[in-house]
Structure 1
Amino acid sequence: MESNKRKHKLETPILLAAKNGIAEIVERIIEVCPIAINDVNSDNKNIVLLAVENRQPKVYELLKRRNILKESMFRQLDKEENSALHLAAKLGDKQPWRIPGAALQMQWENKWYEYVRDSMPHTFFPRYNKEGKTPSDLFTETHRNLVEDGSKWLTNTSQSCSVVAALIATVAFTTATTVPGGFESNGTPALENKPGFDLFAVSSLVALCFSITALVMFLAILTSRYQERDFGRNLPRKLLLGLTSLFVSIAAMLISFCGGHFFVLKEELKLAAVPVYAVTCLPVTFFAMAQLPLYIDLLRATVSKVPQRSHKVDP
């Protein structure tokens, strides 16, 4: 009886390596013993199903590169009659992706599902498992809580950033329509030939344009339907564009302020004002540095075609 239980729990080395994402061992075993690709565990899962279920991109890419992902491998079903696409759509108890935040987790879940789906043979079509569910049904059902958490995070972030963008747009509009020094009798600006005038004019216009762009992007996120597929490309791109525009508008507004204020000072005070301008920029610099990790994660998740498995998460 004990030997039967022990046998039931045993998994071959290639199955364990595929489950834990050790691509080097999987590749070596395939070279030494090619027939090992047909091994299955007690749940009737082969290396393809285990790599997909445990979100192991390195193993999956290895199998694709060596042309092991043949149609017969994809048609393997586990005890619950789940295909590889079912397992790619099903969210487990753990979140293996190396990225923080429910919204970005959801983005990489979308990328993983689409990556597995696009790598399948053209003759493969979604089928029902034992519970009568398609991969699309499983994706919607198992990601419901993650979608809800991601929606809340996006809503809070967009609301906070839209307030800042609206404030900058208001200030930028005022400065863009105000000419320092007034006009001459012939209608030309009095400070037209001054070195800082062009800097003031251009930076105020840039601040206005980018702040309005950021405001539109954040409002587009707030009015989104927050469907599962929206987290794949639509919402992250809007958030990335909104944050980029917000950072540019803040920097342009500060440059516009420094350029306009430069004309107010007397000649002997202009050099003394430079450190004051630098101190004025410090809060914005701290804000940008605080948001930089989020921005980098968002940029990486948007640009990457295949999500990366985190080694910090236990398999």
Structure 2
Amino acid sequence: MIESYPQVIEYISNDEENILHVAIGHRQRDIYRRVKKMEVIMKCRLVSQIDKNGDTLLHHHVRKIIPSHYIMHCNNKGKTADELFQDTHADLLKLAQQWIKETSQSCSAVSVLVATVVFAAAYTVPGGNDASGRPNFIDSPFFVLFTIMDVISLACSLTSVVMFLSILSSPFEYENFKASLPRKLIIGFTLLFFSVTTTMLSFAATIFLLLHFQKKAWTKTLIYTAAFLPVSMFALMQFPLYAAFNKLLRTLTNKIEKKVYPQKFLPPYLRTKKLNKLS
């Protein structure tokens, strides 16, 4: 409708709300993004509008596109956008603080447990040592796999402990929940996942070292099941977090590209005008 009838963005509702107020109030990101890409003059006229309650777009949780002098604007109840936001989401903040604390504590305990197991496994060489202290299976590729996986698992588990502890020591304010805390939590989950995966791979390598003389098919089936079933279940349970992590990576990549190649994100008519000036 916006493409067919651009004038609809000028319509005002009975509450003196324009299309941006309504789109943000109903969480319509596509409409918001379309309006954001429009001409500068038209966009400035929309973002500066105040509804009948005295609320600006900032009171509807939009900060980036609104002029800076609107930040301290108070509505009819005498509240700024930040004060209104904090009052509205106070209960949600308490629930989020409790959830992230409990999650970080549980995950840090698991990470410490994994680190303890792999640290002990490093001093318990599979197959034992000979009289000179040299491992009996040192020439086996499975022994090399066991060593590499054990080291990676220890590094990932200890790093994940650091990430979860940094979450517990962070201030649980609104600003931290926007990017800092979710980023730390996702990185901690990722490192914990890799530590569990490499632990199971080192376990599988140990079993292969001890049973590689066995030619029976059931031994391989048992090893594959024991090694990959826990990892697969963990991956399925945490898939939504990794989807969010990929979305976060794409957002960060786009921000970096906008700073390095700003002309790539200009509207077509501005991009052509800028290229003509350069030529």
TM-score when normalising by structure 1: 0.72
The equivalent residue for 2:59 is 86
Distance 1:270 1:239, change over 3 A: farther
The equivalent residue for 2:48 is 75
Secondary structure of 2:214's aligned partner: helix
Letter aligned with residue 53 of structure 2: E
Match status 1:62 vs 2:34: yes
Query: Which aligned pairs between 1:127-206 and structure 2 lie closer than 5 A?
Result: 127-183=73-129, 188-206=134-152
Gap runs ≥5 in structure 2: 253-279
Aligned pair count reads: 250
Which of 225, 234, 240 pairs up with 1:287?
A: 234
Residues 53 and 75 in structure 2, CA contact (< 8 A), matched pair in contact too:
yes
The equivalent residue for 2:20 is 48
Query: Which aligned pairs between 1:249-260 and structure 2 lie closer than 5 A?
Result: 249-260=195-206
Distance (Å, rounded) in 1 between the aligned partners of 2:114 and 2:216:
26
TM-score when normalising by structure 2: 0.80
Aligned-residue RMSD, C-alpha: 2.4
Gap runs ≥5 in structure 1: 1-24, 89-115, 307-315
Distance (Å, rounded) in 1 between the aligned partners of 2:12 and 2:209:
77
Residues 53 and 76 in structure 2, CA contact (< 8 A), matched pair in contact too:
yes
Query: Which aligned pairs between 1:111-122 and structure 2 lie closer than 5 A?
Result: 116-121=62-67
Indicate the percent of aligned positions where both proteins have the same amino acid: 35
Distance (Å, rounded) in 1 between the aligned partners of 2:234 and 2:43:
50
How far did 1:140 drift? 1.4
Post-superposition Cα deviations, 1:80-134, rounded to whole Å, max 9, x if no partner, equal 111011122xxxxxxxxxxxxxxxxxxxxxxxxxxx3222245654311112211
Distance 1:145 1:122, change over 3 A: closer
How far did 1:172 drift? 0.7
Residues 115 and 158 in structure 2, CA contact (< 8 A), matched pair in contact too:
yes
Distance 1:194 1:303, change over 3 A: closer
How far did 1:54 drift? 2.0
Higher RCO (CA 8 Å, separation ≥ 6 residues): 1
Letter aligned with residue 187 of structure 2: L
How far did 1:300 drift? 4.9
Letter aligned with residue 13 of structure 2: N
Residues 48 and 84 in structure 1, CA contact (< 8 A), matched pair in contact too:
yes
